[in-house]
Amino acid sequence: MYAIIVFGPLLGAAIAGLLQRYIGDRAAMWITTLLVCLSAGLSLYAFYDVAFVGNELTIEIARWFDIGAFQTSWSMRIDTLSAVMLVVVTFVSSLVHIYSFGYMSHDPHRARFFSYLSLFTFAMLMLVTANDFMQLFFGWEGVGLASYLLIGFWYKKPTANSAAIKAFVTNRVGDFGFALGIMAIFLIFGTIQFDGVFAQVAAMQGQATEFLGMRFYALEIIAFLLFIGAMGKSAQFFLHVWLPDAMEGPTPVSALIHAATMVTAGVFLVVRCSPIFEAAPVASAIVAVIGAITAFFAATIGMAQNDIKRVVAYSTCSQLGYMFFAAGLGLYGAAMFHLFTHAFFKALLFLGSGSVIHALHDEQDMRKMGGMWKVIPWTYAVMLIGTLALTGVGIPGTKLGFAGFFSKDAIIEGAFAVAADTGSQVATLAFWAGVVAALLTSFYSWRLIFMTFHGKHRGPQEHFEKAHESPPVMMGPLLILAVGAVFAGALFYSPFVGDAKDGFWRESVTFASAATHGEEAEHGEELHAEAGHSDEASETAENVTGQLTGDEADTEAAEAHAEGGEGAAHAASEEHGEEHGGHHVPTWVLWTPFVVTLLGFLGAVFFYLMRPGIPRRIGESGGPLHSFLYNKWFFDELYNATFVRGARGLGDLFWKVGDVRIVDGLGPNGVARAVRSGASRLSRLQTGYLYHYALVMLIAVVAIAGALIVLKG
């Protein structure tokens, strides 16, 4: 069964890619789609079987490398973690396949597209079912390749090509770190099997190793290197530049790869390696900080973008930041939960945007949209659901809410609980970054909705008039995803992070002490019963208070007893007055995300529905903040000036001086010249005269004998 899940898409890709000429486009599309759907169906069963019944297993398919101590095999590790990923990947993938029937219906290279999609699915499945780092790396590179192919699918479009190259090159940076990490693992542990490595983690704690001439703790350096890989693939801060550009690819690709699956591979990696990260506090802190920065930073950029897909892309980036800081804080369950729900609503948003773009004849600029809700009501409806899910709308304290409500709030509250329990500055930072990012998320998400669907249409009128709802084959997947976006959170809250989580994750994820606090805090929220007195907690609470600089209290927070800070573009906060138990999140924390979300919504309503002139004027006047955000913090320019131009200059230097003159001159060309002349001289020795040959032989004998006599005599 698992073989069918994993290799079905490969078969489909091979058939569609290689036999397309013989079977035609339609057959290729049907075959790939059916195979992926079959895979998805089986995955659902597998998920049930593994996560709830508990049939974990490892299947060995074939030996791969067997070189001395370095052994690795093709195998499948099926535990809850991979089962969750299997469901997400195959489910979203099959929906995207179906959606593409409509979206790509006019493309002449449909079969190739479907082949790539299936190939990607296969690589992703290899990645998530890997049982050792080598296979993980194989899948990792496989999805990178598929991503490159799909971003550059419209290869005649120069921007698509350069975006594909940018994605590939940026990922190389990360992959380099990842590869180094794998090597370091082999060096330290002597194996790259997950089980073998994780079993030794405890023994390796405190072991030092040498890297770049300095001594580090081995586990820290391994975790850090692995995280660099994760940063590249998941578009985290510093290596995020490729993700927005990747939107040059077809929209289904963006939904599948750059929202739901591939970009979450980094999160998956961190969670999969949770035993290592648990033993590496510094690296975990780095993960959390980078995640927090990304969550905040990407959200700020998202506010100022005009391309509908780019907004969603930065939103993805930001949500990945959430997942990472959750994982960095040890909240692996929450991270995976958010990954799971995020897959639904972000795919929904992407596909919905695709539907809008499709309706408007490939118009992506939101400034030329508006008022679309009348012409494409269904799309509007699902986009609305997606936005509600993304912004995490729900009623705190109850179990009513959209998917994002459960997962995002679980992360934010978990972060607070960790901060409260351990006094960790990192957790505090992460908490506040999460809150601010939630505010911004709400703002830009509603901005997208308002700019696209409300107001007057600003684009060419004939497009507006000709706009039509997408065909059922595209709407079907959207509706299914919408259902997921509404209910996925509520349904799976309990197993992922709630009461049932121990029985759910079992061995697949390690929760260390620090994490348990956070998780138990969730319990506290559920049970709302125990109250214990913890000095530690109260101290932390005071710390938090000390850091606050707010001035206005938000009274909607029912149990807030003290002042919190809140500003238009800043964070809102509450102070924790009553001393609840240490394993308990104060109520104001529960309400904070809700409040900031509402604020963001109101802000968007104000700027884009009531006074749409203000942002336009800001955009036109080009104030420094706006241009800073609009130009994505000038990261591209910075990289261009330093790395790209630097590398190019260095390349020129190496090429013109180093390569052409020195290396080629003395190396290949010079050597080739020498070789050529040597060869002709040698063949001139071959005169054909018998006595020359005899003479050479005799000289050789005499010389060898003489040499030996001298040496030994």
Partner 1 sequence: MILQAIAFWILAGVAVSAAFMVVAARNPVRSVMWLILTFFTTAGLFVLIGAEFLAMLLVVVYVGAVAVLFLFVVMMLDVDFVELKQGFLQYMPVGALIALIMLAEMAFVGASWAASRGEAAAQPPAIPVSASNIEAIGAVLYTEYVYFFQAAGMVLLVAMIGAIVLTLRHREGVKRQDIGKQVGRKRDEAVELVDIEQGEGIG
Partner 2 sequence: MTESFAVNFAIAAPEVFLAVATMGLLVAGVIMGDKSARLITWLALATLAGYAALALAGLANGAGAAFSGALVADRFAVFAKVVIAIGAGLTLLLSDSFMQKEKLSRFEFPVLGLLAVLGMGMMVSAGDIIAVYMGIELQSLALYVMAAFNRDSLRSSEAGLKYFVLGALSSGLLLYGLSLIFGATGATDFDSIAAALAQEESLMFTIGLVFAISGLAFKVSAAPFHMWTPDVYEGAPTPVTAFLAAAPKFAAMALFARVLVGPFGEFIGDWQQVIVALAGISIGVGVFGALAQSNIKRLMAYSSIANMGYALMGLAAGTQNGVNGLLIYMTIYLLSVIGVFACILAMRRKDGMVEQIDDLAGLSQTNPGIAVALSMLMLSVAGLPPFAGFIAKLYVFMAALDAGLVLLAVFAALGTVVGAFYYLRIVKLIWFDEPAQGFVRPGRTVAYTAFGSAALAFPILVVFIFPLISQAGAAASALFS
3-state DSSP helix/strand/coil percent for the chain, to nearest 5? 75, 5, 20
Q: Which does 693 bind (CB under 5 to 8 A by kind): partner 1, partner 2, none?
A: partner 2
Q: Partners of 400 in the beta sheet?
A: 395
Sequence-distant (≥ 6) Cβ neighbours of residue 434 within 8 angstroms: 292, 295, 322, 325, 408, 411, 412, 415
Q: From the CB of 696, what's the least distance to partner 2, in Å?
A: 6
Give the Cβ contact number of residue 107 at 10 Å: 15
Q: Which does 656 bind (CB under 5 to 8 A by kind): partner 1, partner 2, none?
A: none
* Residue 676 lies near partner 2 (rule: CB under 8 A): yes
Tokens found for residue 427 = 């957790």
Q: Partners of 401 in the beta sheet?
A: 394
* Residue 697 lies near partner 1 (rule: CB under 8 A): no
Judged by CB under 8 A, which of 529, 613, 680, 710 binds partner 2? 680
Strand pairing report for 400-401 and 394-395: antiparallel
Size of the site for partner 2 (CB under 8 A): 27
* Residue 208 lies near partner 1 (rule: CB under 8 A): no
Q: Which is nearer to partner 2, 70 or 693 (CB)?
A: 693
Q: Which does 688 bind (CB under 5 to 8 A by kind): partner 1, partner 2, none?
A: partner 2
> Distance between CA 82 and CA 469 in Å, rounded?
37
Q: Which is nearer to partner 1, 199 or 696 (CB)?
A: 696
* Residue 711 lies near partner 1 (rule: CB under 8 A): no
Report the Cα–Cα distance between both ends of the chain, in Å, rounded: 75
* Residue 666 lies near partner 2 (rule: CB under 8 A): no
* Residue 1 lies near partner 1 (rule: CB under 8 A): no
* Residue 705 lies near partner 1 (rule: CB under 8 A): yes
DSSP 178-246: HHHHHHHHHHHHS--BHHHHHHHHHHHTT-EEEETTEEEEHHHHHHHHHHHHHHHHTT-TTS-THHHHG
Q: Which does 610 bind (CB under 5 to 8 A by kind): partner 1, partner 2, none?
A: none
> Distance between CA 367 and CA 142 in Å, rounded?
37
Select the span of 150-158, 594-602, 637-645, 688-696 touching partner 2 (CB under 8 A). 688-696
Mark residues 633-672: x for contact with partner 1 by CB under 8 A, - for none: ----------------------------------------
SS (H, E, C) 317-377: HHHHHHHHHHHHCCCHHHHHHHHHHHHHHHHHHHHHHHHHHHHCCCCCEHHHCCCHHHCCH
Q: Which is nearer to partner 2, 653 or 699 (CB)?
A: 699
Select the span of 153-161, 219-227, 333-341, 672-680 touching partner 2 (CB under 8 A). 672-680
CA distances from 405 to 482, 505, 593 (A): 15, 21, 9
* Residue 709 lies near partner 1 (rule: CB under 8 A): yes
* Residue 705 lies near partner 2 (rule: CB under 8 A): yes
Q: Which does 69 bind (CB under 5 to 8 A by kind): partner 2, partner 1, none?
A: none
Q: Partners of 215 in the beta sheet?
A: 210
SS (H, E, C) 483-533: HHHHHHHHHHHHHHHCCCHHHHHHHHCCCCHHHHHHHHHHHHHHHCCCCCC
Q: Which is nearer to partner 2, 622 or 688 (CB)?
A: 688
* Residue 22 lies near partner 1 (rule: CB under 8 A): no
Q: Which is nearer to partner 1, 527 or 698 (CB)?
A: 698
Nearest to 350 by CA among 475, 242, 258: 258
Size of the site for partner 1 (CB under 8 A): 9
* Residue 57 lies near partner 1 (rule: CB under 8 A): no
> Distance between CA 396 and CA 126 in Å, rounded?
39
Q: Partners of 76 in the beta sheet?
A: 59
Q: Which does 206 bind (CB under 5 to 8 A by kind): partner 2, partner 1, none?
A: none
Select the span of 29-37, 38-46, 233-241, 695-703 touching partner 2 (CB under 8 A). 695-703
Helix axes 425-453, 535-547, angle to 10 degrees: 50
Residues that bind partner 1 (CB under 8 A): 691, 695, 698-699, 702, 705-706, 709, 713
Residues that bind partner 2 (CB under 8 A): 675-676, 678-680, 682-683, 686, 688, 690, 692-694, 696-701, 704-705, 707-709, 711-713
